[in-house]
Amino acid sequence: MAEIAAFAKPASLEATPTHYCPGCSHGVIHRLLAELLDELGIRRRTVTVLPVGCSVLGYDYFSTDCQEASHGRAPAVATGVKRARPDLFVLCYQGDGDLASIGAGEIVHCANRGEKVTVVFVNNATYGMTGGQMAPTTLPDQETTTCPGGRDVDQAGYPIRVAELLSTLRTPAFIARGAAHTPRHAIHAKALLRRAFRCQMEGRCFSLVELLSICPTNWGLPPAEAGRWLERQMIPYYPLGVLKTPDGPDRAPLPLATLPEAAPGSAR
Amino acid sequence: MARTLIKGNEAIGEAAIRAGCKLFFGYPITPQTEILEYMSRRLPQVGGTFVQAESELAASNMLYGAAGAGERVMTASSSPGISLMMEAVSYLAGAELPAVIVNVMRAGPGLGGILPGQADYLQATKGGGHGDYRCLVLAPWSVQEAVDLMRDAFDLADYYRNPVLVLCDGVMGQIMEPVEFADERSPCRPLGAKDWATTGWQGDRPRAVINSLYLDPDRLQAHNRHLQAKYDRMTRDEIRCAGPDPAEPLDLLVVAYGASARVSATALEVLKTRGVAAALCRSISLFPFPSAAVARAAARAKAVLVVEMSAGQMLEDVRLAVGERRPIHFLGRQGGILVMPEDVVDAAERILAAPAVREGAGG
Amino acid sequence: MARILIDRERCKGCEQCVQACPQGVLALGRGFNAKGYAVAEVVKPRHCLGCRLCCIACPDVAIQMWVAGTLYHYFAY
């Protein structure tokens, strides 16, 4: 009986072996994105904007036109590309430091203006490329090279939940969070990414999918154990799901509480 | 073509649109905000796109993205905002992207003041950003010249695949002068198709990758040498200056640009009525600096006077050009204070009255 | 029947596929590839259902799967 290929490398992914560490979720996420570009048939009009971080060399892996942005500025670069050529599909790929630290301003305003780009936010609670420093997404008491005793919330505050933060903006958007550390989660993540891609293809709104990812090297865990750390430590703080849809309920601010009446003759 | 009375900032915007600028990204800052406002009104009228960005950081990176996608793009800011853009300028140069950046200079450093200054010369010509790169830097001295240089700036940016800085001072941005917008003409340099731009990979050309990262040191050195060769061509071909008439006698050479040159020109008329042989060498391209023209003119004079609204920035390039051959004097103002014609006249007379100069030590 | 093909030189021995497989088909083998990684191997070929969870789990696209006969999709992917 003839054999058929049940699984093969997507065309939108270059054959180049990646430089990522064993087990790194970047590899899985790159492949999910490439599969979607193939399935939706949009590879030829895609421009991928790459960050500074482990995925800085992403232009060697995505078989699309690419632009390398400076640290944190990928949403601004993506805005420039999309405004110049609204017919192109603009994919913006960023990590924690790039998006939530130096790029915090750019991502908020890109989302707030409702730029019709798709942002993939790879959250591994650390700065991978530079060797495992504390990130805005590092968990309390998590040890990194710049918080060797663990993240002290009195000094560094609590981690930022980017998906929740962006979902409070009034401008319509598709905001979701998934994970990529097990195939079951990757399958769910791909469905979220597909919805995000469709938002851009239909010209509806800004879309962002945050994907919790493992970083075995900088967590100091073997790849086989890193997934369990993510499940136990990250998912409770960064819940999975869809946080905002373009036709979801308006998250309007609550009315101000009325002040109590002052007693006659007393100072207010 | 009719002459219009128009404010410098608005003229710059109009000139850009007529040169085919399709996108403008900017942020409000005095004294260039009128460029922003004008573009927000005019660009949609011609099918272009205007974006007020959240910061100059963002604006300059939007510039990068849109330039990378192959469109004619522009931003404008003033000194503190230009500082924020310096990272992006280095990236634009490294990735070889064309863009026009207008700096309507104000007094600094830091927040400084909102009145005009010329203290961004070193930032513009010696590289405010990191790495071995250069920008083509043009400095108009009238609104008409600003309009003409803006038109050339877009062509030069495309031709060299490099950012071009147009250095106005606050005076240029704010004054109103009669201007003629010339009819369309062919580009001032031959331009080809932008097949390097990220327009979607159809398979008919190599994948376009806009990038300035080269981890391999040999490749990065080769890239740098390629950039330097480009800057050498700029130095050879893009010198612009309005030098003194070679036939006229010359005792004092005044070197200035922008508003300081306008003021110096007035002063020179006064000096002429007093029988002083003084002339102006006005640099229009600040990079490449017209060193040869300045040196040649200085050789005929007894002394050189550099006039700037700064503590002496172009002064350094004049010193490099002239060396020890002639005494070089400097008249500067900071804080947003304009150099006045009488300041230049007084300085000129004092310099020429000094014993060493009178006895023709430089002759 | 499903046939798994692992590209030994792409594999980095991360064991995501070993963990992903519900049937214990894969394990990290002995020996190393050219980069010094211990690579995953098929140890129980007859247990393979063709579910592709190993392919989906692999960050390096090192696993191909070939199926003779009907391919059952256990999930939408």
Is B250 in the same domain as B221?
no
pLDDT tens digits, B116-152: 999 999 999 998 999 999 999 999 999 999 999 999 9
* pLDDT above 50 for B206: yes
* Residue A260: burial class (beta carbons within 10 Å; 0-12, 13-18, 19+): exposed
Position A255 scores a pLDDT of 65
Which distant-in-sequence residues (6+ apart) come within 8 Å of A148 by Cβ? none
Which distant-in-sequence residues (6+ apart) come within 8 Å of A217 by Cβ? A21, A24, A128, A132
Q: State the DSSP string of C8-77.
A: TTT-----HHHHH-TT--EEE-SS--TTS---EEES-GGG-----HHHHH-TT--EEEEEESPPPPSS--
**Mean pLDDT, residues B46-56:** 95
The number of residues making up chain A comes to 268
How far apart CA A225 and CA A90 sit, in angstroms, is 34
How far apart CA B18 and CA B184 sit, in angstroms, is 8
Is B221 in the same domain as B260?
no
Is B219 in the same domain as B122?
yes
DSSP state of C6: E
User: Looking at CA atoms only, how far is residue A153 from chain C in angstroms?
Assistant: 33
- Would an 8 Å CB–CB cutoff place A98 in contact with chain B? no
Q: Which residue of A has its CA nearest to B69?
A: A81
Position B195 scores a pLDDT of 95
How far apart CA A89 and CA A73 sit, in angstroms, is 18
User: Looking at CA atoms only, how far is residue A20 from chain C in angstroms?
Assistant: 9
Residue B61 lies in a domain: yes
> Please, which pLDDT band fits residue B247 given cuts at 50, 70 and 90?
confident
Q: Which residue of B has its CA nearest to A63?
A: B207
How far apart CA A83 and CA B65 sit, in angstroms, is 9
**Mean pLDDT, residues B70-92:** 97
Is B231 in the same domain as B252?
no
Considering Cα of B356, then B357, then B360, then B362, what sign does the dihedral take? positive
Name the least confident of A139-143, A158-162, A250-254, B60-64.
A250-254
How far apart CA A258 and CA A256 sit, in angstroms, is 6
CB atoms C59 and A4 under 8 Å:
no
* pLDDT above 60 for B361: no
Q: What percent of chain B has pLDDT above 90?
A: 93
pLDDT tens digits, A45-72: 999 999 999 999 999 999 999 999 999 9
- Would an 8 Å CB–CB cutoff place A109 in contact with chain B? yes
CB atoms C59 and A13 under 8 Å:
no
Can you tell me whether residue C7 is helix, strand or coil?
coil
Mark whether B and C touch (3+ CB pairs within 8 Å).
no
**Mean pLDDT, residues C10-19:** 97
Residue to test with chain C: of A7, A36, A182, most C Cβ within 10 A: A7
How far apart CA B285 and CA B294 sit, in angstroms, is 12
Range of the domain at B248: 242-358
Q: Collect all residues of chain A within an 8 Å Cβ-Cβ radius of residue C59.
A: 18, 20, 22-28, 31
pLDDT tens digits, B150-163: 999 999 999 999 99
Pair A126, A138: CB distance under 8 Å: yes
Q: Which residue of A has its CA nearest to B214?
A: A57
Residue B363 lies in a domain: no
Is B314 in the same domain as B212?
no
Of C9, C57, C67, Cβ closest to residue A183: C57
> Please, which pLDDT band fits residue B84 given cuts at 50, 70 and 90?
very high
**Mean pLDDT, residues B300-329:** 97
Which helix or strand (DSSP H or E) is residue C4 part of? strand C2-6
What total number of domains does chain B contain? 2
**Mean pLDDT, residues B350-363:** 69
Q: What is the mean pLDDT of chain C?
A: 93
* pLDDT above 70 for B351: yes
Considering Cα of B308, then B310, then B312, then B316, what sign does the dihedral take? negative
Within 13 Å and on the Cβ side, how many CA atoms surround B159? 19
**Mean pLDDT, residues B29-42:** 95
CB atoms A20 and C59 under 8 Å:
yes
**Mean pLDDT, residues B90-110:** 97
Position B181 scores a pLDDT of 94
CB atoms B65 and A85 under 8 Å:
no
β-partners of residue A92 are: A49, A119
pLDDT tens digits, B219-233: 999 999 999 999 999
Is B227 in the same domain as B254?
no
> Please, which pLDDT band fits residue B363 given cuts at 50, 70 and 90?
very low
Within 13 Å and on the Cβ side, how many CA atoms surround B82? 32
Position A121 scores a pLDDT of 98
User: Looking at CA atoms only, how far is residue B59 from chain A in angstroms?
Assistant: 7
Which of B237, B259, B278 terminates a domain? The answer is B237
Q: Which residues of A60-70 are buried (b: 16+ CB within 10 A; e: fewer)?
A: ebbbbbbbbbb
Q: What is the mean pLDDT of chain A?
A: 94
Q: Collect all residues of chain A within an 8 Å Cβ-Cβ radius of residue C16.
A: 23, 223-224, 227
Residue B282 lies in a domain: yes
Tokens of A152: 């002290």
User: Looking at CA atoms only, how far is residue C59 from chain A in angstroms?
Assistant: 4
Is B150 in the same domain as B61?
yes
User: What are the structural domains of chain C?
Assistant: 2-67 (3.30.70.20)
Higher pLDDT, A252 or C14: C14
Tokens of A132: 């495992």
Q: Which residue of A has its CA nearest to B73?
A: A84
Helix axes B56-68, B79-94, angle to 10 degrees: 30
Residues in C lying within 8 Å of A, measured between beta carbons: 2-3, 9-10, 12-16, 18-20, 37, 50, 52-61, 63-69, 71, 75-77
Which distant-in-sequence residues (6+ apart) come within 8 Å of B226 by Cβ? none
CB atoms C77 and A190 under 8 Å:
yes
Position B359 scores a pLDDT of 56
Q: Collect all residues of chain C within an 8 Å Cβ-Cβ radius of residue A25.
A: 59
Tokens of B342: 């009488």
Pair A218, A268: CB distance under 8 Å: no
Identify the CATH number of the domain in which residue B153 sits.
3.40.50.970
pLDDT tens digits, C43-58: 999 999 899 999 999 9
* pLDDT above 50 for B362: no
* CATH hierarchy code of domain A25-244: 3.40.50.970
Name the least confident of A103-117, B127-141, B266-280, C57-71.
C57-71
> Please, which pLDDT band fits residue A248 given cuts at 50, 70 and 90?
confident
Provide the residue type at B306 as one letter.
V
Pair A123, A51: CB distance under 8 Å: no
Return the HEC string of chain B: CCEEEEEHHHHHHHHHHHCCCCEEEECCCCCCHHHHHHHHHHHHHCCCEEEECCCHHHHHHHHHHHHHCCCCEEEEECHHHHHHHHHHHHHHHHCCCCEEEEEEEECCCCCCCCCECCCCHHHHHCCCCCCCCCCEEECCCCHHHHHHHHHHHHHHHHHHCCEEEEEEEHHHHHCEEEEECCCCCCCCCCCCCCCCCCCCCCCCCCCCEECCCCCCHHHHHHHHHHHHHHHHHHHHHCCCEECCCCCCCCCEEEEECHHHHHHHHHHHHHHHHCCCCEEEEEECEEECCCHHHHHHHHHHCCEEEEEECCCCCHHHHHHHHHCCCCCEEEEECCCCCCCCHHHHHHHHHHHHHCHHHHCCCCC
Q: Collect all residues of chain B within an 8 Å Cβ-Cβ radius of residue A79.
A: 51, 53, 58, 62, 65
Among B174, B39, B163, B59, residue whose Cα is nearest residue B117: B174
Is B101 in the same domain as B215?
yes
* pLDDT above 80 for B71: yes
Map tokens 């109103």 to a residue: B176
Considering Cα of C7, then C8, then C13, then C18, what sign does the dihedral take? positive
User: Looking at CA atoms only, how far is residue A172 from chain C in angstroms?
Assistant: 27
Q: What is the mean pLDDT of chain B?
A: 95
> Please, which pLDDT band fits residue A123 given cuts at 50, 70 and 90?
very high
Position B70 scores a pLDDT of 97
Identify the CATH number of the domain in which residue B273 sits.
3.40.50.920
* pLDDT above 70 for A155: yes
